[in-house]
Chain A
Amino acid sequence: DTEVTQTPKHLVMGMTNKKSLKCEQHMGHRAMYWYKQKAKKPPELMFVYSYEKLSINESVPSRFSPECPNSSLLNLHLHALQPEDSALYLCASSQATYYEQYFGPGTRLTVT
């Protein structure tokens, strides 16, 4: 089983809303990632969690707040987003940070 699940599939939110994206994997992977992807571009790394601890924050604005409640779950809390934050948000996991990554289907986020 190489499945990473993400919810919701689509999300529309206003600039004053607070919402959360969720990601789950049951492959026993110890590294999890959040990426942001604009149309026809490669994914851009946002955060890396390794053994449930944040190991990389790619200078992401504080309106994005990651959380790793346990080794299978990864959340991304959103608050006061801007229209330019509209994108496909991808979660990925890997056995460890130097192993190949498996991606979820993404959450299509639209900020109005």
Chain B
Amino acid sequence: TQLLEQSPQFLSIQEGENLTVYCNSSSVFSSLQWYRQEPGEGPVLLVTVVTGGEVKKLKRLTFQFGDARKDSSLHITAAQPGDTGLYLCAGVRGNKLVFGAGTILRVKS
């Protein structure tokens, strides 16, 4: 059983559509990170959410951290082909970074 359940696994949408990716756990995390990774490149840190109920915005991306700090979501408004990639949520557990399984997003023009 994954400590962080991420959904959906795959998402293929048209340019201009909105989407939401979910990251859920039965455990409390002190913080959660969201990364975006393009093929053949390393994951790039998008945001860290720390406080329960926190909302952070990065241009068309909105990140939320659940009140109980067990879940998080990433919402993209008006998706563009440049948003295509693998989106990963991750949280620190002990000395390790625990990853969700990832969401492969494809935005078609």
Contact = CB atoms under 8 A, between A and B. Distances in A.
A45 interface: yes
Contact of A41 (B41, B43, B90, B102): B102
Interface string A18-43: 00000000000000010000001111
User: What is the interface residue range for chain A against chain B?
Assistant: 20 to 34
Interface string B16-37: 0000000000000011010100
A13 B40 CA distance: 18
B44 interface: yes
Contact of B40 (A4, A6, A106): A106
Contacts of B35: 103
A97 B102 CA distance: 22
Contact of A97 (B30, B48, B95, B104): B95
Contact of B95 (A2, A6, A48): A48
Main secondary structure of the interface of B (DSSP, over half): strand
B56 to A, nearest CB: 13
B47 to A, nearest CB: 9
Contact of B99 (A43, A55, A97, A99): A43
B95 A100 contact: no
User: What is the interface residue range for chain B against chain A?
Assistant: 20 to 34
Interface string B69-109: 00000000000000000101010100111011110100000
A100 B99 CA distance: 12
A42 B99 contact: yes
A40 B86 contact: yes
Contact of A100 (B41, B45, B96, B100): B45
Contact of B43 (A43, A48, A50, A97): A43
Given A40-B102, A100-B48, A56 B96 contact: yes
Nearest to A97: B95
Interface of B: 30-31, 33, 35, 40-45, 48, 86, 88, 90, 92, 95-97, 99-102, 104
Sorted nearest first, the 3 A-B pairs with minimum C-beta distance are A42-B99, A103-B42, A97-B95
